[in-house]
């Protein structure tokens, strides 16, 4: 669907239970749907970069880098820890980013949504590029941008994305939005 118009973009994806079914569809010369000739093709999976970076939200700003490294080092070798500072107060913010050397530790960490680190219950998510995060918070398209007046306030209709385990996917507009901003 086109997020701006709400109309079909003219294509779709079908997931078959059996790979042989895909071959049967492709072997057939002509397919018609609603009176129109359609052209089925085999979908090609897009190459994804390995996920090595996580966002840790709700962390006590007093937690030391050593404590953070000690806790997350149990999951795998850490390449970098980013401790963002609030530019106004010049104090640490209540979240960090951790980059692992491999993808496997990220999978292990994400098996639990919440972890207790230095006495704080922290939410763990896949880190996203700043642009993706800002699009989720302030929107770009999506259901006609009906909430333009309340950008980032979390108001408006729609169903909330709270409690969702769809890491890396866009949060539904108008739902609960976290107070901390990862970037």
Q: What is the CATH number of the domain that holds 58?
A: 3.30.70.330
CA 118 to CA 113: how far, in whole Å?
16
| 145 assigned to some structural domain | no
pLDDT for the residue 126: 94
Reported as a pLDDT band with limits 50, 70 and 90, residue 156 is very low
| 81 assigned to some structural domain | yes
| 113 assigned to some structural domain | yes
| 19 assigned to some structural domain | no
- Mean pLDDT for all residues in the chain: 79
The more confident residue out of 4 and 46 is 4
Triad 46, 47, 49: Cα angle to 5°: 135
Arithmetic mean of pLDDT, 2-19 = 87
Range of the domain at 77: 53-137
Q: Which of 86-90, 92-96, 118-122, 150-154 has the lowest mean pLDDT?
A: 150-154
82 burial via Cβ count (<10 Å: 0-12, 13-18, 19+): middle
The answer on pLDDT for 152 being more than 80 is: no
Reported as a pLDDT band with limits 50, 70 and 90, residue 101 is very high
| 80 assigned to some structural domain | yes
| 8 assigned to some structural domain | no
Reported as a pLDDT band with limits 50, 70 and 90, residue 87 is very high
pLDDT for the residue 139: 62
Long-range CB pairs of 150-159, under 8 A, 24+ apart, other chains included: 152/177, 153/177
| 72 assigned to some structural domain | yes
Q: Model pTM?
A: 0.53
Sign, Cα dihedral of 9, 15, 19, 25: negative
pLDDT for the residue 90: 92
| 48 assigned to some structural domain | no
Pairing of strands 120-126, 95-100: unpaired
- Contact between residue 72 and residue 98 where contact means Cβ atoms under 8 Å apart: yes
pLDDT for the residue 72: 97
Q: What is the count of structural domains for the chain?
A: 1
The more confident residue out of 7 and 152 is 7
């Amino acid at each position: 669907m086109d997020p701006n118009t709400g109309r079909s973009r003219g294509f779709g994806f079908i997931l078959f239970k059996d790979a042989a079914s895909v071959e049967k569809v492709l072997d057939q010369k002509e397919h018609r749907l609603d009176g129109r000739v359609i052209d089925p093709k085999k979908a090609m999976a897009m190459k994804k970069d390995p996920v090595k970076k996580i966002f840790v939200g709700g962390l006590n700003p007093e937690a030391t880098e050593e404590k953070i490294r000690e806790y997350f080092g149990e999951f795998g070798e850490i390449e970098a820890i980013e401790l963002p500072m609030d530019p106004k107060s010049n104090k640490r913010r209540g979240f960090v980013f951790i980059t692992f050397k491999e993808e496997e530790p990220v999978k292990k960490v994400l098996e639990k949504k919440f972890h207790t680190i230095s006495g704080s219950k922290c939410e763990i998510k896949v880190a996203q590029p700043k642009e993706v995060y800002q699009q989720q918070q302030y929107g770009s398209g999506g259901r006609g941008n009906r909430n333009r007046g309340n950008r980032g306030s979390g108001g408006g209709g729609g169903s909330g994305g709270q409690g969702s385990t769809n890491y890396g996917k866009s949060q539904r507009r108008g739902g609960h939005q976290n107070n901390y901003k990862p970037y």
